[in-house]
Structure 1
Amino acid sequence: MDVAELLGQIAVDGDYNPFSLRNLGPEGISMVRGALSSPSLREAALAVLATLREPFDFALVPQEKPLPMDACEFWYAVPTGDQEAVLDVFGLSSPVPVTMRMGRLAWRYGGHRWWLDHGRCSVIYVSSVLDGWTLVFGEPSEDFHTRGTLADGVEDPYGVKQMRANEAATRIVRRDRCAALSRRFGAAHLYLRSHGDSTTSRLIAEDGAAVRWYDVEVPEEQIGPPHPGEAGFRLPHEENPWPDGSFDDIIQAHVGKELALRFRDRYRRLRAEYNVPENCNAYDVAAQLSVRPGDIGPSTVVKGHGVLARTGCPG
Structure 2
Amino acid sequence: MDIDRLVRALAAPDTRRDAADALAGLGAAAVPPVLRELTDEDSPVEWSTSAMLLRRLGAAAFDAVVRCLAVAGAPEVRRRLAWTLAGYGTALLDRYVAALSHPAAIVREKAAIGVQYCGADGFPAVPALLSLLDDEDADVASRAGFVLAQFGPRVIPVMRRIRAEGPGRQRAGALAVLASVGGEAALSERDRAAVERLIRVKLTGDRPRAPETCWLHWIAVPTGDQAGVMAELGLSRPRRVTFALGNDVVDADSHERDLRRVFVTPELDGWTFVIGSWCDPADDERRADVARLCVALSERYGRAQAYSFSEQDDASGWLVAEGGTVLRHWWTADGDDVPDEDADRARGVIGDPLPCEVARRAAIEAENAGEPEDIEGEWSWALREMAPEVAAAMGLSPLDITEDTPVRGTGVVALTPRGGGGEAFLGAYRI
**Range into which the TM-score falls when normalised by the shorter chain:** 0.5 to 0.7
Q: Give the residue type in structure 1 aligned to 2:212.
A: D
Equivalent in the alignment of 1:171: 287
In the TM superposition, what is the alpha-carbon distance from 1:121 to its structure 2 partner?
2.2
Q: Give the residue type in structure 2 aligned to 1:309.
A: A
In the TM superposition, what is the alpha-carbon distance from 1:89 to its structure 2 partner?
1.1
* Counterpart Cα distance in 2 of 1:278 and 1:176: 28
* Counterpart Cα distance in 2 of 1:94 and 1:223: 34
Conserved? CA contact 2:328–2:351, under 8 Å: yes
Equivalent in the alignment of 2:227: 84
* Counterpart Cα distance in 1 of 2:315 and 2:163: 38
In the TM superposition, what is the alpha-carbon distance from 1:127 to its structure 2 partner?
1.1
SS at match of 2:361: coil
Query: Which of 262, 265, 287 in structure 2 is aligned with 1:124?
Result: 262
* Counterpart Cα distance in 1 of 2:164 and 2:255: 21
**1:80-119 pair list within 5 angstroms:** 80-109=223-252, 111=253
Aligned pair in 2 of structure 1 residues 82, 279: CA closer, same or farther (>3 Å)?
same
Query: Which of 42, 60, 85 in structure 1 is aligned with 2:198?
Result: 60
In the TM superposition, what is the alpha-carbon distance from 1:233 to its structure 2 partner?
1.0
Equivalent in the alignment of 1:155: none
Equivalent in the alignment of 2:54: none
Conserved? CA contact 1:232–1:277, under 8 Å: no
Aligned pair in 2 of structure 1 residues 200, 278: CA closer, same or farther (>3 Å)?
closer
Q: How many residues are treated as equivalent by the alignment?
A: 248
Q: Gapped runs of 5+ residues in structure 1?
A: 10-15, 35-41, 145-165, 247-266
Query: Which of 305, 311, 318 in structure 2 is aligned with 1:189?
Result: 305
Aligned pair in 2 of structure 1 residues 191, 285: CA closer, same or farther (>3 Å)?
same
Deviation sequence 1:66-109 (CA, Å, 0-9, x none): 11212242110111111111221111111110011100112221
In the TM superposition, what is the alpha-carbon distance from 1:51 to its structure 2 partner?
11
Q: TM-score, normalised by structure 1?
A: 0.61
SS at match of 1:73: strand
In the TM superposition, what is the alpha-carbon distance from 1:302 to its structure 2 partner?
1.4
* Counterpart Cα distance in 2 of 1:51 and 1:186: 43
Deviation sequence 1:28-75 (CA, Å, 0-9, x none): 5887999xxxxxxx9xx89x9599642445443223211121224211
Conserved? CA contact 2:235–2:416, under 8 Å: yes
Equivalent in the alignment of 2:216: 73
Conserved? CA contact 2:254–2:277, under 8 Å: no
Q: Give the residue type in structure 2 aligned to 1:173.
A: D
Equivalent in the alignment of 1:134: 272
Q: Give the residue type in structure 2 aligned to 1:175.
A: A
Conserved? CA contact 2:217–2:277, under 8 Å: no
Judging by fraction of residues, say which structure has more strand.
1
**1:235-250 pair list within 5 angstroms:** 242=371
Judging by fraction of residues, say which structure has more helix.
2
* Counterpart Cα distance in 1 of 2:301 and 2:135: 44
SS at match of 2:207: coil
Equivalent in the alignment of 1:290: 395
Equivalent in the alignment of 2:408: 303
Aligned pair in 2 of structure 1 residues 213, 31: CA closer, same or farther (>3 Å)?
farther
SS at match of 1:210: strand
SS at match of 1:219: helix
Aligned pair in 2 of structure 1 residues 233, 50: CA closer, same or farther (>3 Å)?
farther
Equivalent in the alignment of 1:207: 323
Query: Which of 321, 338, 360 in structure 2 is aligned with 1:233?
Result: 360
Deviation sequence 1:141-168 (CA, Å, 0-9, x none): xx99xxxxxxxxxxxxxxxxxxxxx82x
* Counterpart Cα distance in 2 of 1:113 and 1:216: 19
Equivalent pairs: percent with the same residue?
Answer: 29
Q: Give the residue type in structure 2 aligned to 1:286.
A: A
Query: Which of 382, 387, 396 in structure 2 is aligned with 1:279?
Result: 382
SS at match of 2:264: strand
* Counterpart Cα distance in 1 of 2:212 and 2:296: 28
SS at match of 2:266: strand
Q: Give the residue type in structure 2 aligned to 1:219.
A: D
Aligned pair in 2 of structure 1 residues 82, 209: CA closer, same or farther (>3 Å)?
same
Q: Are 1:219 and 2:361 an aligned pair?
A: no
Conserved? CA contact 2:291–2:319, under 8 Å: yes
SS at match of 1:65: coil
* Counterpart Cα distance in 2 of 1:293 and 1:29: 38
Larger radius of gyration: 2
Aligned pair in 2 of structure 1 residues 58, 230: CA closer, same or farther (>3 Å)?
farther
In the TM superposition, what is the alpha-carbon distance from 1:214 to its structure 2 partner?
1.4
* Counterpart Cα distance in 1 of 2:404 and 2:412: 22
In the TM superposition, what is the alpha-carbon distance from 1:112 to its structure 2 partner?
5.3
Q: TM-score, normalised by structure 2?
A: 0.46
What is the alpha-carbon root mean square deviation over aligned residues? 4.7
